[in-house]
Structure 1
C-alpha cells in the first residue's frame, strides 16, 4: 500500500470514531459541516438524486453510462463501497484519486473540529466538496439510507429525483410498513422537480403520489408516463415522446429491465438523445450484481465451476435472484451465503430454496454484525434449503467443486461478503 493510500485509510478510520452511533438519521450535523465548508452543495452541476430499496446502484450505473455515451461528463456518489472507499466517489467519470480523497477528508476533519458526526455524514460532505471543485455536466447522487433524513438530501432543487423499487429493509430505521418506508424515500422529492418512479407496490405508490401532489412535483411513473418490456430479445421503452427499440441491458437479471426503464426515463427527461439510450443499455458496469467471476483465485481454484457473485440481501433481492437463476440454462446450482444479523435472512433465502441444490453458510470475515455461519445454516434449513457450513468462501467452493465440478455457484447474501471476495481478486 502506498503512503498516500495509508494516509486516506488512517483518516477514514479516524472518522469512524467521531460519533458513537453508526447510523443516526438527522440532517443537523450535515448542515453544520456544509456551512463550515462554505456550502459546496450549492455550486454543483445539475443533480439527479436517487432513493429506493433495490436497484439504486444499477439504475445509477445505467444513467451514468448514458450520460457518458452522449459525450457528457458526470460525478457519481454511491455507497457502500465493495473493495475500496474510492468506489463511492467518481469525479467526471474517474474514481477519485488518493491525493484528492485525502485532501477533502482532511479538510472535512479540520472543519468539523471536535463536533460529533457520523462516518457517512462526513464522507458525504467530503464527496460534495470534491465534486464542487471539478467541472462536470451532471451529478448522480445516491442516498445511503432512506431519503428524508439521509445525508445526501441537501439539494434545494435537483434536476430530477428517482425512486427505485421499494421493499422491506432497514425497518429499525425507516419503519415497519411499506407506507412508512415509502414516506422516508419520498422525502427526496422537491417542489416542482420531476420524479422518475420505478415499479412500486400499491401501498408505496400511494404515499409517493400523495407527497408529489403536495409538492407539485411531476411524476414520471412506470405504468403511467412510461412503460418498458422485453420483446424478441430487445428492450422496448415507450413514453409520451415515442418508442425506443434497444438492446437488453448488459447487466444480467430480469429485474434490470425495470431499472433500465427508470434510467431511460431520466435520460429522456434530460433530452440527451439516441446515443445516451443505447449507451445506457450496452456500457453500464456495476460490480456484485450477478457478476460472473471468470478470473482470480476463486475462479482458478474451481475452473469447471460457473461462478457468480451478487450482493443482494433482502427479500426482494432474493426473489429477483431466484427468477434469474431459474431462467438460466439447466445446471446444478449451489449457493455460498453469508449475511448480516440486521437482515431478514429467512425472507432473502426462502425464494432461493426453489432453485438451489444446496446452500453452504459462511460468516463474513471482519464484520462485527455478521450472522454466524451456524445461524445462517439454521435459518436456511427452516425455509427448505439443504445446508452445510464452511470456514470461508474458499473452503465452501472447494467442497462444492469436489462434489459437482461443473456446477453453477452463486456467492450471495451481503454486499460486505461481495466486497470481501472482490478485495481478494486485486
Structure 2
C-alpha cells in the first residue's frame, strides 16, 4: 500500500500544529461545525475508553459484528507502523484499512476547513474519522478514545449506541490526575445521559465506584463485569454468562486470561448496542479476532530469523504497570503449558512508569535487554532503562537494537529454546513490526 500522499499531508500538519495533547472540545467542535457535523451522521457507535484493553475490546467487537454479517468501521489509536491503521472502513468480507488517496483527500479537506487555526494533529485526524465514517456505509462503528475521555476529541458523539469502559489504572497522570479515581472520572466523561454503559473488569474498587456512580447519575442502563456478565475458562473453553444465559465458546485467539474480560466486555457492548449475536457468530469471532502488537506471536520475518533456533517470540506494546501485570500473567500461563526460559527485550518512553512495568516480571524473566525506541523522541536511553529494570529486581543490560539483542542471545545461548517477549511501548512494537517486515494489514 502506498502511503506517501497521506504521509505528506500529515507531515505538513505536524509542521503547522503543536505535537502532543491539548485536552479541550472547543477546537474540534468548531472544526466539525465547518464540516457540517459529520459526527451526527455516523452508524451506531460503540465508544470505548479505559487505560488498558481498549484496542482488544474494539477488535473483539469488530470480530463479533463481522461474524454476524454486519459492515463495521473501526477507529483505534495510536497506529503501529502506518497512520492508515487508525481507520478500518467497512467492506464485504471484513473491513479494510483506508486507501491512501481516500485518506489523503479527507485530511486535505479537514485541514482546509480548519483555515490554519490553532488545533492539534490528533483533533484533525479525529475529524477525518468522522468524515470517513459518515461518507462510507456501515452498520456500526467502533471508536476508541485517544486519551482520557471527557475532553478527548472523540467525545463529541452525542448519542452512542453503547459506551464501554475497559480496565482503569494509573497512566498519563500529567493529563488525567495522579489518583485512580480522578482517572476513572475522566474516562467516565464519555458516558451520555440515558445511553447504555458497559463497565469492564476493574481491579480498583475505587475506580469501579466512580464509574457506577457516574452511570447512575446519568440514568444510563448499565451492565458491570462480575455482576451482570462475566467470562471464565472451563474445560479448555471460554464460558460467557449474562442474564440471557451461557455461551460455551472457544478460547479467544488473543492469548492471556485478561482477554476473557475484554471479549466479555465486547459481547456485552454489541448486545447493549442493540445487535443480536448468535452462538455460531460468537464462536467464529473468538477464533478469528486479530489485534497486532498485543501478545502477538511472531513466527516469521527478518528479526525472527536472528533469534536462537526454536525460540518462541511474542510482541506486546503494553507500557504501564497494569499492562505489565496482565502480560506477565499471560506469559506465566504459557510457562505452565510449555516451560521455557523467559527473556525480555524492552524499549520504553519517558512518560511511563518503567520500574512499575518491570516489577511485574520479577521471578519470571531470566534477563532483560534494554534498547532505544527509534520511533519516539521520548524514548528512554537504553542504559537508563537497564537501571530501571535492575531497580525492579531484574538482571538487565543495555544493547543498541532488537537485532543486536537477538544475535547476542543466539550466539551465547546454551539450553532450551527461550521464550522472548519484545515490548514496553506501542511505538517500540510498531518499530519492531516495521523492521521485521510484518506491518499490520
TM-score by length of 1: 0.97
Which of 76-85 and 302-311 deviates more? 302-311
Pair 1:419-2:430 in alignment:
yes
1:295-314 alignment runs, 5 A limit = 295-302=300-307, 303-314=309-320
**In the alignment, is the contact (CA less than 8 A) between 1:322 and 1:354 conserved in 2?**
no
- Distance in 2 (alpha carbons) for counterparts of 1:376 and 1:425: 23
Q: Specify the alignment match of 1:73 in structure 2.
A: 71
Sort the Cα spacing of 1:120 and 1:373 in 2 relative to 1 into closer, same or farther, 3 A.
same
Give per-residue Cα distances to partners, 1:149-208, cap 9 Å, x unaligned: 001111110100000000100000000001000000000111111111111111001111
**In the alignment, is the contact (CA less than 8 A) between 2:346 and 2:423 conserved in 1?**
yes
Sort the Cα spacing of 1:293 and 1:21 in 2 relative to 1 into closer, same or farther, 3 A.
closer
Residue number among 249, 252, 257 corresponding to 1:254 in the alignment = 257
- In the TM superposition, what is the alpha-carbon distance from 1:21 to its structure 2 partner? 4.5
Q: Specify the alignment match of 2:102 in structure 1.
A: 100
**In the alignment, is the contact (CA less than 8 A) between 1:79 and 1:88 conserved in 2?**
yes
SS of alignment partner, residue 163 of structure 2? strand
Q: What residue ranges of structure 2 are gaps of 5+ in the alignment? A: none
TM-score by length of 2: 0.94
Which of 15-24 and 31-40 deviates more? 15-24
- Distance in 2 (alpha carbons) for counterparts of 1:132 and 1:206: 35
CA RMSD of aligned residues (A): 1.2
- In the TM superposition, what is the alpha-carbon distance from 1:308 to its structure 2 partner? 1.2
- In the TM superposition, what is the alpha-carbon distance from 1:268 to its structure 2 partner? 2.9
Residue number among 51, 54, 59 corresponding to 2:52 in the alignment = 54
- Distance in 2 (alpha carbons) for counterparts of 1:136 and 1:371: 41
- Distance in 2 (alpha carbons) for counterparts of 1:274 and 1:47: 23
- In the TM superposition, what is the alpha-carbon distance from 1:281 to its structure 2 partner? 1.0
Residue number among 126, 135, 138 corresponding to 1:136 in the alignment = 138
- Distance in 2 (alpha carbons) for counterparts of 1:29 and 1:354: 48
**In the alignment, is the contact (CA less than 8 A) between 1:251 and 1:284 conserved in 2?**
yes
Residue number among 318, 321, 340 corresponding to 1:315 in the alignment = 321
- Distance in 1 (alpha carbons) for counterparts of 2:71 and 2:97: 13
**In the alignment, is the contact (CA less than 8 A) between 2:346 and 2:371 conserved in 1?**
yes
Q: Specify the alignment match of 2:13 in structure 1.
A: 15
- Distance in 1 (alpha carbons) for counterparts of 2:186 and 2:117: 26
**In the alignment, is the contact (CA less than 8 A) between 2:368 and 2:394 conserved in 1?**
yes
- Distance in 2 (alpha carbons) for counterparts of 1:182 and 1:423: 34
Give per-residue Cα distances to partners, 1:228-277, cap 9 Å, x unaligned: 11111111111111111111111011110110110111233322322332
**In the alignment, is the contact (CA less than 8 A) between 2:18 and 2:121 conserved in 1?**
no
**In the alignment, is the contact (CA less than 8 A) between 1:297 and 1:424 conserved in 2?**
yes
Q: Specify the alignment match of 2:33 in structure 1.
A: 35
Give per-residue Cα distances to partners, 1:308-363, cap 9 Å, x unaligned: 11100000111111111112121111000000000000110001122100000001
SS of alignment partner, residue 343 of structure 2? strand
Which of 223-232 and 376-385 deviates more? 223-232
Residue number among 293, 296, 305 corresponding to 2:298 in the alignment = 293
- Distance in 2 (alpha carbons) for counterparts of 1:410 and 1:221: 32
Pair 1:389-2:389 in alignment:
no
Pair 1:403-2:412 in alignment:
yes
Which of 132-141 and 224-233 deviates more? 224-233
- Distance in 2 (alpha carbons) for counterparts of 1:267 and 1:7: 35
**In the alignment, is the contact (CA less than 8 A) between 1:334 and 1:400 conserved in 2?**
no
- Distance in 1 (alpha carbons) for counterparts of 2:284 and 2:105: 33
SS of alignment partner, residue 151 of structure 1? coil
**In the alignment, is the contact (CA less than 8 A) between 2:5 and 2:101 conserved in 1?**
no
- Distance in 1 (alpha carbons) for counterparts of 2:65 and 2:435: 31
- Distance in 1 (alpha carbons) for counterparts of 2:150 and 2:85: 24
- Distance in 2 (alpha carbons) for counterparts of 1:238 and 1:415: 32
Q: What residue ranges of structure 1 are gaps of 5+ in the alignment? A: none
Pair 1:265-2:265 in alignment:
no
Q: Specify the alignment match of 1:85 in structure 2.
A: 83
SS of alignment partner, residue 362 of structure 2? helix
Q: Specify the alignment match of 1:356 in structure 2.
A: 365
- In the TM superposition, what is the alpha-carbon distance from 1:146 to its structure 2 partner? 0.4
- Distance in 1 (alpha carbons) for counterparts of 2:435 and 2:218: 47
**In the alignment, is the contact (CA less than 8 A) between 1:334 and 1:359 conserved in 2?**
yes
SS of alignment partner, residue 243 of structure 1? strand
Give per-residue Cα distances to partners, 1:70-108, cap 9 Å, x unaligned: 011110000000011110001101110011001100001
- Distance in 1 (alpha carbons) for counterparts of 2:332 and 2:278: 35
